[in-house]
Amino acid sequence: MNLSPTRIASHGLWLAGACLQWGAIAAEASPSIWRCGNTYTDVPCQAGQSLEADDARSPAQQREADQATRAARAEAQRMERDRQRLEATQRPAVLIDNAPKPRTAAAPAPMLRKTGVRKDPLYVNPGETPASRRKRGRLAGGERTEGRG
């Protein structure tokens, strides 16, 4: 293949012209928006509807909307700075505190004397048999067996 400088230049010009032409076609075509069910996309879908995406607002309305967007963005940035400043001054939250508590030299809790706790005489242990109850001196009704104190 003969690649002379003039031939390379002519191919380059032809390629540049084709790219410019394709670019102009792409720029003329407005971006299409498709509604596919409850979502919007730029890719056509089956049973989707094509929507027009022209902005019918006047230049004054567009400027007003842009100013409102800039004001909202500035307010959001101010709020973020305030939040960060507040978080920097606060102690971090601890969900579960596993740190040992400092011991104080407090008097020990008084020991309570265990008093004789009597079991309910009508309580029957589910795993207890009548023979084992007799062995310990209890009948099913809570009475003591004869001959035992």
Q: How far is CA 141 from CA 77, 123, 125, 127, 129, in A?
A: 79, 9, 13, 16, 13
Report the pLDDT value the prediction gives residue 82, as an integer from 0 to 100. Answer: 96
Assess whether 4 and 49 both reside in one domain: yes
Residue 100: CB partners within 8 Å, gap ≥ 6?
none
Q: Is residue 139 part of a domain?
A: no
Assess whether 1 and 49 both reside in one domain: yes
Report the pLDDT value the prediction gives residue 65, as an integer from 0 to 100. Answer: 95
Assess whether 72 and 50 both reside in one domain: no
Report the pLDDT value the prediction gives residue 140, as an integer from 0 to 100. Answer: 47
Report the pLDDT value the prediction gives residue 119, as an integer from 0 to 100. Answer: 64
Range 131-143 average pLDDT: 62
Q: Is residue 119 part of a domain?
A: no
Q: In what helix (H) or strand (E) does residue 50 lie, and over which residues does it extend?
A: strand 49-51
Q: Is residue 25 part of a domain?
A: yes
Assess whether 72 and 84 both reside in one domain: yes
Q: Is residue 142 part of a domain?
A: no
66, 89, 112 — which closes off a domain?
A: 89
Residue % of the chain over a pLDDT of 70: 56
**Residue 76 clears pLDDT 60, i.e. is over it:** yes
One-letter amino acid for residue 135 of the chain? K
Distance CA 31, CA 50 (A): 10
Name the most confidently modeled range: 9-13, 58-62, 105-109. Answer: 58-62
Domain that holds residue 19: 1-54
Count of domains for the chain: 2
89, 105, 140 — which closes off a domain?
A: 89
Q: What is the pLDDT of residues 47-70, one digit of tens each?
A: 888 888 778 889 999 999 999 999
